[in-house]
Amino acid sequence: MTAVNNDAEFPAVYARTPDGFGVRLRIGGKGQAFFQVDTPCVRESAVADPTTKATAPLYEGEFIPRPNIHSDFWSAEAPEVGVTSGR
């Protein structure tokens, strides 16, 4: 574990192995989560587009919307401290 930010609104954890494998989890604006995994690649290579059909809306343009879908099961009813409800 290389760094932890325990901020209430934008918490984040960063971990890295000595040979360069890394994981990063960070909560951004309006509760959007960002997860990143790094491998110490020998060479940069583009990731191919998925070949299966998407089951959720695909977003175009400059700004991908923040979480904006309500689920009766998953969505919190009351906004948490420091987090604005996306509803």
Per CB under 8 A, residues contacting another protein are: 2-7, 9-10, 12, 14, 16, 22, 24, 26, 28-29, 32, 34, 36, 38, 58-64
Least Å distance, CB 15 to another protein, is 10
Comparing C-alpha atoms, which of 11, 35, 30 is closest to residue 69? 30
* CA geometry: angle 85, 10, 39, nearest 5 deg: 120
Least Å distance, CB 29 to another protein, is 5
Nearer to another protein, 64 or 78 (CB): 64
DSSP state letter for 42: S
The tokens for 86 are 């996306």
Least Å distance, CB 53 to another protein, is 15
Q: Rounded CA gap, 36 and 25, in Å?
A: 6
